[in-house]
Amino acid sequence: MISEKMNAAFNKQIKDEMYSSNLYLSMVAYFERIGLKGFANWMRIQVQEENAHAMGLFDYLISRDGCISIEAIDKPETNWASPLDCFEAVYKHEQLVTSLINGLIDVAEQEKDRAAISFLQWYLKEQVEEEANCSEICSRLRFVGEDKHALLLIDQELGARTYVAPTIA
């Protein structure tokens, strides 16, 4: 059993995670367009992670006998001025997601839903990692500046990222 308010908050977060997935898919297209296949690969994995985040919430809601409602997703941006501009947008977006997860936990606390509070701890920790990863890539992109050779080395490194399905407790 889950309260109506908590149920609605979970449905909204499912939508927000799916928006994240679409935003990053749009970034895959951007990086493919400018020929940075490694960045595109990194972003493709980000898409898979966001889908997993959405499905984790979806399955949790089912396990609590909640009511799933799939909401319309806003159209994401389609273009960025540079890889740095794009990663700064990722960092900003992940900071927004962190605030959304905090908001979800606030609702869980108001509703005295201890199971939801416990479940959402995984998402909270994941956000620390997400923010750290993109902040680090932003710093490196700022450091290399206009150096295309260095940019290609970063591209090569990001191309090695592989997807590991998360175990969402």
Q: Which is nearer to ligand FEO, 2 or 97 (CB)?
A: 97
Quickly tell me which residue has 């809601």 as its tokens. Answer: 61
Secondary structure of 5-55 in HEC code, one letter for each residue: HHHHHHHHHHHHHHHHHHHHHHHHHHHHHCCCHHHHHHHHHHHHHHHHHHH
In the complex, the residues that contact ligand FEO under the rule CB under 6 A are: 17, 20, 50, 53, 94, 97, 130
Minimum distance, C-beta of residue 47 to ligand FEO, in the bound complex (Å): 10
Q: Which is nearer to ligand FEO, 16 or 113 (CB)?
A: 16
Q: Which is nearer to ligand FEO, 3 or 48 (CB)?
A: 48
For residues 10 and 14, give the distance between their C-alpha atoms in angstroms, rounded to a whole number: 6
Minimum distance, C-beta of residue 136 to ligand FEO, in the bound complex (Å): 15
Cβ neighbours of residue 57 closer than 8 Å, sequence gap 6 or more: 10, 13, 14, 17
Minimum distance, C-beta of residue 31 to ligand FEO, in the bound complex (Å): 17
Q: Which is nearer to ligand FEO, 94 or 155 (CB)?
A: 94
Closest residue to ligand FEO, based on beta-carbon distance: 53
